Amino acid sequence: MGSTKFMRPKGRGAEGDIHSSDLYVANCGPAVGISFEEISMVFRAFGEVKGVYAADETGTRIIVSFSDEKSAQAALNALDGRPCDDVGGRFLHIQYAVPRPLPSSVLGHDSVDVSLTASELNIPGVYLFHDFITPNEEEGLLAAVDARSWKCLSKRRVQHYGFEFCYQTRNVDTKRHLGALPSFVAPVLERISTCSELDDAGNIKLDQLTVNEYPPGVGLSPHIDTHSAFGDMIFSLSLAGPCIMEFRRYHEGVWEPESSSRVIYIEKQENSTDFLRRAIFLPPRSILLLSGEARYAWHHYIPHHKVDIVKESLIRRSSRRVSLTFRKVRREPCCCEYAEYCDSQR
């Protein structure tokens, strides 16, 4: 994870115009055995150092942030282009750092603050439990799903257990039970049912599992899991890599019949800006619960990003994210209090 805020100026020689309290320092850093603390010590001789960050992922380019420009200038004048004894005699190459333009692929015009916790997100019915499983358990689950066969969708791979999820109808065929959920998820189900923060979860027999594998840059379109298909609680366990999940609360939604056998959700508001929008960071090994209002009335989706911005840090999606989504198939029509989003009450 590099600093999102600063970068090297484009080309040398422009520094005369730039006044900054932030320095871009090349040729030192963790990749050559020099810690941020050692770098901070060197620069503290010139003034108050607010922070030392990686400028990028090389481990040899660093941003040193001073409290004021004068200190930065003094450090630059004293240290640039000279060997520095305190960092093993390495020559430091120093320039003023300039603010990094945020990548449009990440921010574009539609950035949203990303919460780290459910309470910060503030959507009723969302719960996020960090480190719900251990790294060893994560490894075991990944090995177990990789030993099963994947079904390829256009951009991601999936596996279904308990009941097949049909992406065309966005529903399940309750008459076609595929069998019990695989034994490798038993410890996860056990932990969900005994989670003291989730009073009701102990009584719910989750019987459908969708495993999704997302390559970097691939997300999931905005949707509400079909009310008539699944019950109130939807759990999603994140493995292998991080992502953000975004939420939108529109003011109305409409279910319309498309053919005799199929009902589709029409997002009449698609171009509308009239919606609430929130986002949360999902680290690996965390489990997210959508229930109540969050489950029934908010669209959720994973933006198609290769990099997410979380609290001013760039977080790269890793080579894949695998999620295990546990749900309970609904046998009776949904009678939630969000009729405008409910296909059972259309």
Ligand X SMILES: O=C(O)CCC(=O)C(=O)O
Q: Which residues of this chain interact with ligand X, rule CB under 6 A?
A: 210, 212, 220, 225, 236, 300, 323, 325
If contact means CB under 5 to 8 A according to the sort of partner, which of Fe ion, ligand X, none does residue 171 touch? none
Q: Which is nearer to ligand X, 3 or 212 (CB)?
A: 212
Whether 74 and 66 have beta carbons less than 8 Å apart is answered as no
Which C-beta is closer to Fe ion: that of 28 or that of 294? Answer: 294
Q: How far is the CB of 67 from Fe ion (least distance, A)?
A: 46
Contact 233, 201 (CB under 8 A): yes
Angle of helix 186-193 relative to helix 135-146, nearest 10 degrees, comes to 130
Strands 114-115 and 276-282: parallel
Q: Which is nearer to Fe ion, 72 or 342 (CB)?
A: 342
Candidate ranges 81-89, 146-154, 220-228, 280-288; the one touching Fe ion (CB under 5 A): 220-228
In the chain, the N- to C-terminal Cα span, in Å, equals: 47
* The entry of ligand X, Fe ion, none that residue 212 binds, CB within 5 to 8 Å by partner kind: ligand X
Is residue 225 within the footprint of Fe ion (CB under 5 A)? yes
84/279 with CB nearer ligand X: 279
Locate 55 and state its tokens.
């400028």
| CA 279, 280, 284, 285 torsion-angle sign | negative
Residue 323 binds what, of ligand X, Fe ion, none (CB under 5 to 8 Å, by partner type)? Answer: ligand X
Q: Token pair for residue 203?
A: 């009584």
Cα→Cα distances 30→27, 36, 62, 96, Å: 10, 7, 9, 21
Look at the block and give the residue holding tokens 């999704």. 212
Beta carbon of residue 325, minimum distance to ligand X (angstroms, whole number): 4
The minimum distance between CB 162 and ligand X, in angstroms, equals 13
User: Which C-beta is closer to ligand X: that of 66 or that of 326?
Assistant: 326
Interface with Fe ion (CB under 5 A): 225
